[in-house]
Structure 1
Amino acid sequence: MPDTVFDEDTLAAASEAMGEEEERPLTFAELGVPGPLVRVLAADDKKTAFPIQADTLPDSLAGRDILGRGRTGSGKTLAFSIPLVARLGEVDANEYENMSQFRHEVDRVKQAHAKERRADDFVPHPRGLVLAPTRELANQINDVLMPLAQIYGINTTTVYGGVRYARQIRDLQAGADIVVACPGRLEDLIEQGALTLDKVEVAVIDEADEMADMGFLPPVKRLLGQISFDAQIMLFSATLDHGVDEVVETFLSDPKVHSVDSATATVDEMTHHVFKTTQGNRHELVRTLASGKGRRILFTRTKFQTQKLAKDLTQNGIPAAELHGNLSQNQRDRNLAAFNSGDVNVMVATDVAARGIDVSGVELVVQVEPPEDPKSFLHRSGRTARAGHSGDVVTIILPNQRRRTRRMMREAGLTVEPIDVTPDSPEVLELVGEVAEPVFGWTLEQSQPVGNPRRRKNGKGGADGERSGRPNRSGGRNKDRGKDKGGKPFKSERKDRRDRDQREERNDSAKKFEPKKNRAERRAAKFEGRDNREFEAREHRWEHPEIQEERREQHEEKRNNKRREKYTRLHEQQRSDNEQRETTNKRRNDGDYGNTDNRRKPGKKKSGQLAKRQGAPSKKQRKSEARAERRYDDDRRSKGKKYDERSSDAKRYDRHTEVKRGGRGERHDKHAGQSRHRHANIRKAPFRTR
């Protein structure tokens, strides 16, 4: 066979073609991913693998322990989700000719497991475990795992704090094969006996360096100690500091190290900007950067700054959701759902959102204040330019923050020269792009009704429970949920629909900002369409204030007359009581107890009560008074006073007066009369009418 001779141009073209073939990204099928998973990935427009996925999948699918190191946004979640589901799947797709037979066998395996769970001594024992540092990251991982696991009939659930135990325990007992958990709540459930980790075959530790920074490594070690020694463990971390290397040496057996990018590697599609401004212009600069149509995340340092900035932007016509540690899990999910769905384009967050938020299409990240360390700077910046997309990162600094920011960025491997800007600078307006229309009166309830959006049917997260927070296990019964036996919605369901319609009407009216009406206009709007005498009378009084003044004077005069009559009547009653009291005192001094006809006649005895009622003392009282008189006279003689020759009644009256009023009780003293009137218990009228 004659030798074939190629010219130089042909050889160069062949070499270039071979180079392009080598650089061509590999498909998931070429990497050995099972056919059912390839179909699910293709349906989500994922056909080729990222570098870290292409590098780790052959080893992870073979069952080796993996130590993956790469920058944020490089596709690590899918790199461990695919082998996790593929190794836990109990049905081999290669043994069946078509997908119908494969699904039939998957249903048979699910029924067998359901029968096992109905046993009385059943204890939940998941076969897959994923540990994540934050709740948001756990939900993001679960969203990626869900469609992959469902094709194999595998159920997934999330376990983290901030929510009730009951739902998580119910999902575990229903047969959750893969658990995506935060370490703290998972340890609590294990102590309660809600599950065991003895049957775990594949374990994943994601963002291990973040767990070390948050102090989660001790519980992670305790959890990994409960897993079987022959289980496959995959650990993904940007760095191996703060004790992560100790976890690798203790629990990973001959791990295969895959380091695609270093922790400080920058993304080619990411552009960094450092804007230097003054304290007075910073707030207006932030508002300008947040006013564009694209999605953007604004990072602050404290929770209070996050709340204040989100409120300020919303009041200025820029709807903004907030994300920080003071929110409940339900509020976090609602805010993230509003940002994911595009109801709001601005998210104001603390560093709690620096990891775990994977929202596609984030064009701009604004660091309202520079972070404390280069690691936080890189993770904040990693919210944009993800999965091959481009993005910009703006760091706003004040003059006194320039030196510290330059040092921090140098440690992060960046060299960016600060630019002095104002809110109207061309560099700022170029990043803003097209300005969005202002929306006044926006609230979160308008776009996200109350309730967990991850569990809402047909929500933004997916259809009929797919690609949402948890699978739809109702078997098609959700169509009758909220209805009675006759198919009519319950009263609560009708009320929810009515409230939803009212909210939509308010949304339509709030789209266009209207100035606040004055009092007269609000009253006119309130009574618009009413035609009755009450409305006409109220309007007449409103137009003629002198009528109101005249009625007020009449009311005050009537009230004063009633008060005057009351006090006049009270004064007359007091004067009558004083006169009666004086008459009684005079009779007591004279010894006259009343009508002489009522005195006891000789030969007739009356009871003590009747005698007392008619004023005559009884025999026992007379003896007691006689003894009191003798003591009284003896006391006066011992003091050198003149013998009192008054009657017994006068002396008794003085004794009673002395006890009652605290006086001396002597009628013949110099000031006796004056003290009696001065200390008399007489009610006086507030004022005299005459």
Structure 2
Amino acid sequence: MSFEKLGLSENTLGAVRRKGFSEPTDIQREVIPLFLKGNADIVGQSQTGTGKTASFALPLVDVINEYEREVQAIILTPTRELALQVADEIKSLRGKKRIRVLSVYGGQPIGPQIRTLRKGVHIVVGTPGRVLDHIRRGTLRLDGIQYFILDEADRMLDMGFIDDIRAIFRETPRNKRVLMFSATMPREVLRLAKRYMEKYELIRTSSDEPVPGLVEQEYIEVVPARKISVLKRILDGEFHGIIFCQTKRETRILAEKLAHMGYNAEALNGDMNQRSRERTLMRFKRRKINILVATDVAARGIDVQDIAHIVNYSLPQNAEMYIHRIGRTGRAGKKGKAITFIKPGEYRRLRYIESVAKVSIKKSKLQESIDREKRRDSRKRY
């Protein structure tokens, strides 16, 4: 089934195409039509990396009334990182609709959040503690809420947010829809559903495998100025794979640099027309080029067998994107390798992605060589 058959508006379908989504995942196929056509509450079980956020973000964009100033949807997440990620995903999918989205969380000055709320916001995405803080200050009113969404409900319960969730729920009107998403479905989650949902549809998806079991995952901490030299060490072996960059400009610059150094590399990004993309992919499939330098558009649509390597030239924005990227390798019973570059100071963010994606990302052996060189260079200076 294509996105066109799920009942989404043309505006939202346009955003889907710009994002490079090819076909809906299982959770998207189940949730989107039910969200748009039905009146029932929804409990969805789906692993991280299966497109869960888009499953509620896409229909939410369609049902929000952009001409009303009051908050129409509240989305609770267990962490500030996830709040930012969900808010960014909704913004990237809103197309031409003037939907205002605000993420609220602790550890950040509350003043700018208050000023934005006073201007009018349609969707608030936040952690329970900060949302409750705004409610008690009178800066966030939820009496116009039509959609109450709990993301990663199992983690919120594990982190002890149940009392905050109850307090927030009491501030919302009775006549609203409640959606709850969870990677696992323990009794506590179902008990929460029974307490706060009138009549709900339970959706479980299991066919979307989040992370191939045959992918060896490593990280390398490297300063930006040395990324190219470290990358060369990886490419000088037998390499047939994808290097993921954050921006279209970065793919072009890196592909040109690698080609100038004698590597068989080409860029793949959203600025290319469909015919050019298909030609590049065909050359990659036939091994006429062995290095594809791509944006995350490629993570959604590439289906090439025997990709042996994935390099995250920059740390992905979230766990879901990390899984989409490394899922290009380790297929059909064959081993693959995924190497992620992190800058100094990004270690905690890497570990957050690791915990949410439920994967193990080990320090690369190449890191030891880099560290030895650092110490040697330091001694030379002094």
Shorter-chain TM-score range: 0.5 to 0.7
Higher relative contact order (CA 8 A, sep 6+): 2
Q: Give the deviation of 1:139 after TM superposition.
A: 0.8
| Counterpart among 372, 380, 390 of residue 328 in structure 2 | 390
Q: What TM-score comes out, normalization by structure 2 length?
A: 0.61
Matches within 5 A, 1:116-195: 125-149=70-94, 151-195=96-140
Distance 2:246 2:159 in 1: 26
Matches within 5 A, 1:183-262: 183-241=128-186, 243-261=188-206
Distance 1:381 1:175 in 2: 30
Partner of 2:8: 33
Question: 2:115 aligns to what SS in structure 1?
Answer: helix
Structure with the bigger percentage of strand: 2
Q: Deviations over 1:535-570 (max 9, x none)?
A: xxxxxxxxxxxxxxxxxxxxxxxxxxxxxxxxxxxx
Q: What TM-score comes out, normalization by structure 1 length?
A: 0.35
**Which residue type is aligned with residue 389 of structure 1?**
G
Distance 2:205 2:162 in 1: 24
Answer yes or no: is 1:51 the counterpart of 2:26: yes
Matches within 5 A, 1:625-644: none
| Counterpart among 58, 65, 79 of residue 41 in structure 2 | 65
Task: Give the direction of change, closer, same or farther, for the CA distance of 1:223–1:270 in structure 2 (3 Å limit).
Answer: same
The answer as to whether partners of 1:364 and 1:391 remain within 8 angstroms in 2 is no
Partner of 2:60: 84
Distance 1:203 1:223 in 2: 10
Structure with the bigger percentage of helix: 1
Q: Give the deviation of 1:359 after TM superposition.
A: 11
Distance 2:86 2:338 in 1: 31
Q: Give the deviation of 1:89 after TM superposition.
A: 3.0
Distance 1:192 1:381 in 2: 33
Q: Give the deviation of 1:147 after TM superposition.
A: 3.2
Moved more, 143-152 or 74-83: 143-152
Distance 2:91 2:56 in 1: 13
Q: Give the deviation of 1:514 after TM superposition.
A: 9.5
Q: Give the deviation of 1:148 after TM superposition.
A: 3.0
Task: Give the direction of change, closer, same or farther, for the CA distance of 1:272–1:443 in structure 2 (3 Å limit).
Answer: closer
Q: Give the deviation of 1:29 after TM superposition.
A: 1.9
Matches within 5 A, 1:146-545: 146-149=91-94, 151-241=96-186, 243-261=188-206, 266-267=209-210, 269-271=212-214, 289-290=218-219, 363=310, 384-386=322-324, 389-391=327-329, 431=337, 516=380
Task: Give the direction of change, closer, same or farther, for the CA distance of 1:127–1:386 in structure 2 (3 Å limit).
Answer: same
Partner of 1:582: none
Task: Give the direction of change, closer, same or farther, for the CA distance of 1:169–1:432 in structure 2 (3 Å limit).
Answer: closer
**Which residue type is aligned with residue 516 of structure 1?**
K
Distance 1:45 1:186 in 2: 33
Q: Give the deviation of 1:318 after TM superposition.
A: 7.2
Distance 2:58 2:209 in 1: 26
Distance 2:60 2:137 in 1: 27
The answer as to whether partners of 2:51 and 2:320 remain within 8 angstroms in 1 is no
The answer as to whether partners of 1:384 and 1:391 remain within 8 angstroms in 2 is no
Question: 2:28 aligns to what SS in structure 1?
Answer: helix
Distance 1:245 1:387 in 2: 32
Q: Give the deviation of 1:149 after TM superposition.
A: 3.3
Q: Give the deviation of 1:53 after TM superposition.
A: 0.5
Question: 1:167 aligns to what SS in structure 2?
Answer: helix
**Which residue type is aligned with residue 30 of structure 2?**
D
**Which residue type is aligned with residue 48 of structure 2?**
T
Task: Give the direction of change, closer, same or farther, for the CA distance of 1:155–1:257 in structure 2 (3 Å limit).
Answer: same
The answer as to whether partners of 1:270 and 1:385 remain within 8 angstroms in 2 is no
Q: Give the deviation of 1:77 after TM superposition.
A: 0.2
Larger Rg: 1
The answer as to whether partners of 1:209 and 1:242 remain within 8 angstroms in 2 is no
Q: Give the deviation of 1:180 after TM superposition.
A: 0.4
Partner of 1:351: none
Matches within 5 A, 1:88-99: 88-89=64-65
**Which residue type is aligned with residue 52 of structure 1?**
I
Distance 2:65 2:188 in 1: 33
- Give ranges in structure 2 of 5+ residues lacking alignment: 229-244, 252-295, 300-308, 313-317, 347-373
The answer as to whether partners of 2:77 and 2:151 remain within 8 angstroms in 1 is yes
Question: 1:236 aligns to what SS in structure 2?
Answer: strand
Question: 2:192 aligns to what SS in structure 1?
Answer: helix
Task: Give the direction of change, closer, same or farther, for the CA distance of 1:391–1:89 in structure 2 (3 Å limit).
Answer: farther
The answer as to whether partners of 2:310 and 2:337 remain within 8 angstroms in 1 is no
Q: CA RMSD in A?
A: 4.0
Question: 2:3 aligns to what SS in structure 1?
Answer: coil
Aligned length: 271
The answer as to whether partners of 2:12 and 2:95 remain within 8 angstroms in 1 is no
Question: 2:93 aligns to what SS in structure 1?
Answer: helix
